[in-house]
Structure 1
Amino acid sequence: MSEQSKKEPLAFRYDSDLCFPHNSLWNPDKRNSLDLKGDKEVWKMFRSGDDEAFGYIYMKYANLLFKFGLQYIKEREILKDCIQDVFISLKKNRRNLTSDVLSIKSYLYKAMYRQVMERIKKEKRQYIDLSIVNSQGFDISISEESRLISEEYLRERIKQIKSALGKLSKKQKQAILHYYYDGLTHQEIAYVMEMKNKSSARKLIYRALHEIRENVSKKTRSISLILTILLVSLLFHLFS
């Protein structure tokens, strides 16, 4: 069984609900014929000139790219421009794109990152107010609907976990979000974050989880039930 299929979605998510205006047009629960195909087949169709495949990729991933881009730039209109430029470039150059992608999502994340970095460099060259740059980024929130925190007596422990998450480095938070929210594999995370290999991504996530455990355990004599469940689950998925 693959790493991807073993993972169970947890409560981590990007600390932002802002999204593309067209979000109502994409319903992830509605079946599409292309949903039945794997990334490699959809990517092959797109590269061969299939406009339906291109539209499918855009509608499925534009909102995710928007949330990802918000971690670097605060200005919504600039992000829209960046996403548009990413997809214009994809369509224009699709026949020359690599046929071997780890996943469409990870490929688009990396393309978006490079586009955003180019835009920030352009803003700097033009001496434009750089308050648009998000100096923090990748803040993590925990869904209050999670089955792990449905009991009132666990809320205090969740506050401690949130506090510990806030102390992580930007790279650690990014890796955790990519793994547990975006569903990327270690290899895909290494690709997006331009790390040496998947082992580097695995170690980064492990160290982040270790820091969470250490920071929370300092505030209480014993690690709480919720923390135990959460960390055991995270570590199990990390090394499975």
Structure 2
Amino acid sequence: MLTIRREYMIDDKLLSHSQLDCEGIWFKMIEGDEKAFNKVYHYYYSDLFFYGLKISNDSDLVKDCIQELFIKIWMFREKFKGIYSVKAYLIKSLRNSLTMELLKKKTILQRNTLQIHESAIQFSQEDLLVNDETNALYKKLIATTLNKLTKRQREIIHLKFYQELSYLEISEVLGLQYQVIRNTVYESMKELRFHLQKAGNDRMVIL
């Protein structure tokens, strides 16, 4: 019987998601290695949970969707041999799953107005990956400025700088052209710097 052990460690080593792919763990899982499956699950769980909460603040729903995603992967693992990026695939699948679950909770009228392709990601001071010495006022300013961006810009910024996906991986997750992703990141950072300078703070922005 398949069991998912949350306490599993990956050989006490911190691997990037590209390193995890290169280690062949994903392919071992596809071949039916349950230990490899647990490594994949526990390595990506935190990132998926963090991203999921940006789409829905219902933590139980996010956990359920992640659980169901991995159960599906295990049951139909032989179909996932051609995955280009494991992390991009997992994020895309979780995004789609959460979107569908949220749609189910909406009335017919609300369904017609819900934007499926743009999740309402919001940034907080705690989310910012800036130097610990950065003062609280500056962090608040950055978070406020980021939240002035469009929904699409915020999601792309999150995927690029917080999930550390490449432009190509973000393109796969969102179903947008590669150049659109690059242009959006460029314009978003340009807009962010403009607002910070306008507020009288022209120090380098580090996400």
TM range (shorter): 0.7 to 0.9
Other-structure match for 2:89? 107
**Residue pair 1:164, 1:216 contacting (<8 A) in 2 also:** yes
1:157 positional shift: 4.3
Could you say if the C-alpha distance between residues 58 and 194 of structure 1 is closer, same or farther in structure 2, counting changes exceeding 3 Å? same
1:216 positional shift: 1.8
Q: 2:70 aligns with which of 83, 87, 95?
A: 87
Amino acid at match of 1:80: K
Stretches of structure 1 lacking an aligned partner (at least 5 in a row): 1-21, 128-134, 235-240
CA distance in 1, matches of 2:128, 2:121: 21
CA distance in 2, matches of 1:217, 1:64: 32
Amino acid at match of 2:38: G
**Residue pair 2:125, 2:143 contacting (<8 A) in 1 also:** yes
Other-structure match for 1:205? 185
**Residue pair 2:83, 2:89 contacting (<8 A) in 1 also:** yes
1:30 positional shift: 2.4
3-state DSSP class of the match of 2:125?
Answer: strand
1:54 positional shift: 0.7
Other-structure match for 1:10? none
CA distance in 1, matches of 2:108, 2:73: 27
Amino acid at match of 2:148: K
TM-score by length of 2: 0.77
Other-structure match for 1:185? 166
CA distance in 1, matches of 2:99, 2:128: 33
Other-structure match for 1:164? 145
Aligned pair 1:58/2:41, yes or no? yes
3-state DSSP class of the match of 1:205?
Answer: helix
Aligned pair 1:230/2:205, yes or no? yes
1:212 positional shift: 0.7
CA distance in 2, matches of 1:207, 1:106: 23
Could you say if the C-alpha distance between residues 64 and 186 of structure 1 is closer, same or farther in structure 2, counting changes exceeding 3 Å? same
Other-structure match for 2:157? 176
TM-score by length of 1: 0.68
C-alpha deviations, 1:185-234, integer Å up to 9, x for none?
1101111111122x2111111111111112122222xx52xx3x326xx7
Could you say if the C-alpha distance between residues 144 and 65 of structure 1 is closer, same or farther in structure 2, counting changes exceeding 3 Å? closer
**Residue pair 2:65, 2:98 contacting (<8 A) in 1 also:** yes
**Residue pair 2:141, 2:196 contacting (<8 A) in 1 also:** yes
Amino acid at match of 1:203: N
Q: How many residues align?
A: 193
Could you say if the C-alpha distance between residues 82 and 230 of structure 1 is closer, same or farther in structure 2, counting changes exceeding 3 Å? same
CA distance in 1, matches of 2:129, 2:105: 40
Could you say if the C-alpha distance between residues 125 and 44 of structure 1 is closer, same or farther in structure 2, counting changes exceeding 3 Å? farther
1:93 positional shift: 0.7
CA distance in 2, matches of 1:36, 1:83: 20
Aligned pair 1:78/2:61, yes or no? yes
